[in-house]
Amino acid sequence: MSILIKNGRIITATDDYMADIYITGETIQVIGQGLNIPADRVIDASGALVMPGGIDPHVHLDMPFMGTYSSDNYETGTRAALFGGTTTVIDFILQTQGKSLQSALKEWKGRSDNNAVGDYSFHMAVTDFNEETKKEIRHFIEVEGITSFKTFMAYKGALMIDDRQMVGLMQEVKKLGGLINVHATNGDMIDFLIAKHRSEGKLAPIYHYLSQPEVTEAEASSRFVDMAEYTGCPGYIVHLTCEGALNAVRNATKRNQNIFVETCIQYLILDASLYEDNFEGAKWVMSPPLREKKDQATLWAGINQGLVKVVATDHCPFNWEQKLMGRDDFSKIPNGHPAIENRMELLFSEGVNKDKITLNRYVEVASTNAAKIFGMFPKKGTIAIGSDADIIILDPNETHTLSVKTHHMNVDYSGYEGWEVQGKIKTVLLRGKVVIDNNECKVEKGYGQFVKRKKVAGKM
Ligand code: URP
Ligand code: ZN
Ligand code: ZN
């Protein structure tokens, strides 16, 4: 199968030019102006933007969490991602404390193998670092192609590791050429505040927000960057939300430390006023919680300063029935919200169209940087000869409205119901195949492939 995309405006992290793209098999073969190569299919991209497929390095599919499972599985989640222009996702395997990393990998493969529609990879979350798990790290990096290891500084008793384990893991991962991802919030402080609010009978969703003040994130981020500096291990802070935490990273840069920061689309465009004193706020119960308007300004600035490298989703959907598990107690509301399908269009509409970021920056934070940080570049994350033909064609003028009625995520509400979005992803290619066309998915489950990743450079 060969495809010729004609007359598009090609945007990468660095370039912006008019050209045609010729694809055969899974990769881009030729890029040039006025290409006249016979092809099985010709796509006219006049008036549209042609960009690399999105990469969302923070999703939770079919994940056992807080007594239930996130409601998108590999099929529904990666298909919804494709509809929204995200061609590759990185999911998190969670080690069960007391068990091996390998057994968790096996469990996740059981859910993902032959089920994904779009491409995917894994981070390995180490929730119990000991002499046995230490021996498993090399295999993950050198054989499995899983080069990033997630740590939690919160969720004590289930996922959290202490600083002793963190430093030990960092030393091992640094030695072997990997990277540490972190959920950086102070779990003990949060647990103290949760217990306090519960003992006072303060049980509504707003107390989820009030149990995780900015200081809990700033303190943990600062501690994490110090441990990363001490061990020399490359570090990546997931879902960073606020000024205090970003300032901890900014301070680290003064000593020439390279720490990668990810924020998520919701922290850029939603704020804590959604936690009204009723249960509706459960839709946005996630950790960390939504913050203030001043934090949104800090995050947009952080993107433009090159400090915030990635805009992900932390897609972790739960149906309303699942959210109701915490009807009488905010601490039992499954944490997470759906966005895998909405990220690329919302970031375009709210970021590029509202002049907060340039088109090149858009591609950088929605795709290229994640590919570089996580060892997938230039196979993924750019439009170049030899790269996978993962391409989106976006009409910058078409407007549409986000709604549960039209989305493809397996969740019965939208966190963005009624949002007017300018910019519509019309066509999506994944490894040389048109996978989304005219609002239809053209491939079945099993098309999505696991992406083995390279060792990470730890610098960009
Ligand atoms: O609320 C969230 N973020 N749920 C998913 C788990 C995590 O902490 O990333
Ligand atoms: Zn987290
Ligand atoms: Zn997460």
Q: In the prediction, which pLDDT does 218 show? A: 98
| Helices and strands (H and E) in the chain: how many | 14, 19
> What is the 182 CA–ligand 2 centroid distance (Å)?
8
> What is the 337 CA–ligand 3 centroid distance (Å)?
10
Q: In the prediction, which pLDDT does 335 show? A: 98
pLDDT band at 456 (very low <50, low <70, confident <90, very high): confident
Give the C-alpha separation, 382 to 374, whole Å: 14
Closest CA to 279 of 240, 248, 325, 313: 325
- For a ligand 1 pocket test, name from 209, 286, 291, 333 the mutation site with the most ligand atoms within 8 angstroms of its C-beta: 286
CB atoms within 10 A of CB 345: 24
C-beta of residue 323 within 8 angstroms of C-beta of residue 391 = no
CATH class label, 53-373: alpha beta
pLDDT at 93 over 80: yes
pLDDT at 277 over 80: no
Q: In the prediction, which pLDDT does 430 show? A: 99
> What is the 337 CA–ligand 1 centroid distance (Å)?
9
Give the C-alpha separation, 192 to 239, whole Å: 22
Ligand nearest the Cα of residue 182 is 2
Instruction: Indicate which atom in ligand 1 lies nearest the CA of residue 58.
Output: 9
Closest CA to 410 of 325, 338, 313: 338
Average pLDDT over residues 114-118: 98
Token couple for 79:
């298909």
> What is the 287 CA–ligand 3 centroid distance (Å)?
8
Ligand nearest the Cα of residue 415 is 1
Give the C-alpha separation, 454 to 177, whole Å: 9
Give the C-alpha separation, 31 to 4, whole Å: 10
Residue nearest to atom 9 of ligand 1 (CA): 314
Give the C-alpha separation, 426 to 313, whole Å: 21
Query: At which residue do the structure tokens 């000869």 appear?
Result: 385
- For a ligand 1 pocket test, name from 239, 265, 333 the mutation site with the most ligand atoms within 8 angstroms of its C-beta: 239
Residue nearest to atom 3 of ligand 1 (CA): 287
Residue-wise pLDDT tens digits, 297-354: 999 999 999 999 999 999 999 999 999 999 999 999 999 999 999 999 999 999 999 9
Token couple for 45:
């991209």
Which secondary-structure segment (H or E) carries 295? helix 293-304
Which secondary-structure segment (H or E) carries 16? strand 16-24
Residue-wise pLDDT tens digits, 356-393: 999 999 999 999 999 999 999 999 999 999 999 999 99
Q: In the prediction, which pLDDT does 120 show? A: 98
Average pLDDT over residues 270-293: 96
Average pLDDT, the chain: 98
Q: Is the dihedral of CA 441, 447, 450, 451 positive or negative?
A: negative
Q: In the prediction, which pLDDT does 98 show? A: 97
> What is the 317 CA–ligand 1 centroid distance (Å)?
10
Closest CA to 427 of 26, 46, 35: 46
Instruction: Indicate which atom in ligand 1 lies nearest the CA of residue 286.
Output: 1
Query: At which residue do the structure tokens 């529904």 appear?
Result: 76
CA dihedral 190, 194, 200, 204 (to 10 degrees): 120
C-beta of residue 318 within 8 angstroms of C-beta of residue 68 = yes
Ligand nearest the Cα of residue 336 is 1
Residues having CB within 6 Å of any atom of ligand 1:
60, 183, 286-287, 314, 316, 335-336
Parallel, antiparallel or unpaired: strands 49-52 and 391-401: antiparallel
DSSP per-residue codes, 182-251? EE-S-HHHHHHHHHHHHHTT--STHHHHHTS-HHHHHHHHHHHHHHHHHHT--EEE-S--SHHHHHHHHH
pLDDT band at 458 (very low <50, low <70, confident <90, very high): confident
Residue-wise pLDDT tens digits, 23-69: 999 999 999 999 999 999 999 999 999 999 999 999 999 999 999 99
Closest CA to 359 of 130, 51, 44, 38: 51
pLDDT at 433 over 80: yes
pLDDT at 459 over 90: no
Residue-wise pLDDT tens digits, 163-186: 999 999 999 999 999 999 999 999
pLDDT at 92 over 90: yes
Ligand nearest the Cα of residue 123 is 3
Instruction: Indicate which atom in ligand 1 lies nearest the CA of residue 238.
Output: 9
